[in-house]
Amino acid sequence: MMTILRPLAMAVALLFPAVAQAQLTDPDQRVVAAVERGTDRHIALLERMVNQNSGTLNLAGVRAVADMLRPEFEALGMEVRWVDMAETGRAGHLIATHRNLTRGASKHVLMIGHLDTVFEPSSPFQRFERQGDRATGPGIGDDKGGIAVIVAALRALHATGELRRMHVTVVLTGDEERPGAPLATARRDLIAAGREADYALEFENLARDDGRDFGTVARRSSSTWSLTVRGRTGHSSGIFGEGLGYGAIYELARILDAFRRELPEPNLTFNVGLAAGGTPATIDGSLERVQASGKTNIIPEMAIARGDLRSLTPDQDARIRTAMQAIVAQHLPGTSAELAFAAGGYPPMPPTEGNRRLLSRLNEVNRLLGYPEMPEFDPGRRGAADSAFVAADVDTLAGLGMAGGGAHAEGEWVDLTSLPRQAIRTALLMMRLSRR
């Protein structure tokens, strides 16, 4: 069992300047106090979640984290259900719903997080460790810290009676880091929840730069592409000649270099993560390992490359795919090439005016609390996330989880003082969004 250090409690007390507290309503102040009282409990919950491995492919581990959270939501009077995803090769999703218990009308708020992490049981990085207000552990920020913020905010709203007047759905996916297939099935329930909601809040890591917190109103897409190039093989003395042409590797190099020179623009990246060429070159069924052999005096007959594409809007995505295909089609003599985009992938979450209005509402809360306003974060510095699957249907604000760093790497860490701070921001924002 972890030892709670007193400096954190002192730090929490300093989060709320007296001048700001004077601007808060009585219900606001009760929620703030409820979050403060529960901070140690929520850090303990975070520790338990982190110490339970839930790598995406550890299906039992993902389910164990869901089982850990079920009583947390049921204690708030929420209906909780597990959506099995065996058909996609993944564990499943946890969905909790609270319906307005009063006769008053309320807006429907969707809260999004994920149970899984990138750290499978084979990783040496497995345990929660704490030093003062800083803690490390697998998935501690991405996204178990975000789940802790969700629970902390809802518990405070429940403790003060505010939750009775709210319609809230929580969707915690079990495969955000490595989605199951088909993707339409894997994200079916999340998309349905987005279509029923009035607002969506996503709880991946808070964007913080140089000590300042930022709001996330946009996230880029994530899709993959595969390039297969063929050439005429033969003795190297015939390279560049009319009979044999340029070979597969020169054609692969031409295409990739043209991507580099001709395609760059703001908010767009197209990484090449894997490449090989030879006589022959093959790729395995996982699409993550290539094998090639050849000799210096043999013109290569095959070359393979795989990469990803990240864009900010559907229009940008479609335009760049067309441009990539046009580059591929300009074959060197004696070669051919085929560019294929994988089905599915994460769609973009463009920076809509509705999303910006949500950030404006959050900044109203920041002003009441005496916090600095949160500018928009550069979407080019964020990865894809589940919020993108609902952003086409509902105004969405992302990145409401804990502050930290090192996501997806050993040593991933969070600032523990950001847990109550984010829970208070979230709870007060939800109180305002829920009112019709």
Q: How many structural domains are present in the chain? A: 2
Q: Locate the DSSP E strands across 279-436.
A: 281-283, 290-292, 302-309, 335-341, 395-397, 404-405, 413-415
Same domain for 411 and 286?
no
**pTM value?**
0.90
Same domain for 360 and 334?
no
Phi/psi at 101 (5° precision) = -95, 0
DSSP state letter for 142: I
Count CA within 13 A, CB hemisphere, residue 347.
15
Give the mean model confidence (pLDDT) for residues 235-240: 96
What is the rounded distance in angstroms from the CA atom of residue 346 to the CA atom of residue 190? 13
Same domain for 159 and 14?
yes
Q: Is the pLDDT of residue 4 over 50?
A: no
- Structural domain containing residue 366: 6-219+347-434
Same domain for 185 and 82?
yes
What confidence tens digit (pLDDT) does each residue in 342-373 have? 988 899 999 999 999 999 999 999 999 999 99
Look at residues 341, 356, 377 and tell me which one is the last residue of a structural domain: 341
Between the alpha carbon of residue 382 and those of residues 344, 398, 429, the distances in Å are 20, 10, 23
Q: At what angle do helices 146-159 and 59-74 cross, to 10 degrees?
A: 20
What is the rounded distance in angstroms from the CA atom of residue 316 to the CA atom of residue 265? 10
- CA-nearest of 149, 161, 145, 172 to 70 is 172
Same domain for 175 and 65?
yes
**Has residue 210 been placed in a domain?**
yes
Same domain for 294 and 317?
yes
Residue 293 maps to which CATH number? Answer: 3.30.70.360
Same domain for 130 and 230?
no
Same domain for 160 and 290?
no
Question: Hey, what amino acid is at 235?
Answer: H
**Has residue 1 been placed in a domain?**
no
What confidence tens digit (pLDDT) does each residue in 378-428 have? 999 988 999 999 999 999 999 999 999 999 999 999 999 999 999 999 999
Residue 153 maps to which CATH number? Answer: 3.40.630.10
Look at residues 277, 308, 341 and tell me which one is the last residue of a structural domain: 341
**Has residue 281 been placed in a domain?**
yes
Q: Is the pLDDT of residue 312 over 50?
A: yes
Same domain for 131 and 103?
yes
Cα dihedral value 393, 183, 340, 281, nearest 10: 150
Look at residues 293, 313, 341 and tell me which one is the last residue of a structural domain: 341
Same domain for 199 and 255?
no
Same domain for 329 and 190?
no
Question: Hey, what amino acid is at 31?
Answer: V
Calculate ∠ Cα 55-344-180, nearest 5°. 30
What confidence tens digit (pLDDT) does each residue in 168-196 have? 999 999 999 999 999 999 999 999 999 99
**Has residue 33 been placed in a domain?**
yes
